């Protein structure tokens, strides 16, 4: 079995309202040292397959089909045997 760790982040060119809101909140809490804030998704999912190559292909497919929006997001993932 494998565990896929997927990181989904907004493209650099895409404005991040959630990140800006967190930045404003941090400043209001006295954290003026904080600059740009970008918020993405961190997804852990179990893949019940024995073959690493098959698990790689399925993880890639899931990212492209559902987990990341190709119009505005980038993704990367790591595969761990568990």
Footprint of a copy of itself (CB under 8 A)? 1, 7-9, 19, 22-23, 25-26, 29, 31, 33-49, 55, 58, 61-62, 65-67
| 73: phi then psi, degrees, rounded to nearest 5 | -125, 150
Q: Tell me how far, at minimum, the Cβ of 63 lies from a copy of itself, in Å.
A: 11
Q: Output the smallest distance, CB 71 to a copy of itself, in A.
A: 18
Q: Choose between 66 and 71: whose C-beta lies nearer to a copy of itself.
A: 66
CA distances, 76 to each of 35, 52, 59, 67 (Å): 24, 17, 10, 11
**Is the Cβ–Cβ distance between 67 and 43 less than 8 Å?**
yes
């Amino acid at each position: 079995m494998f565990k896929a760790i997927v990181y989904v982040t907004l493209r650099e060119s895409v404005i991040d309202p959630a990140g800006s809101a967190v930045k404003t909140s941090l400043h209001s809490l006295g954290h003026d040292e904080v600059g740009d804030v970008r918020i993405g998704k961190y997804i852990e999912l179990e893949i019940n397959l024995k073959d690493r190559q098959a698990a790689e292909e399925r993880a890639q497919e899931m990212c492209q089909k559902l987990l990341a929006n190709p119009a505005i997001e980038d993704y990367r993932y790591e595969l761990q045997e568990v």
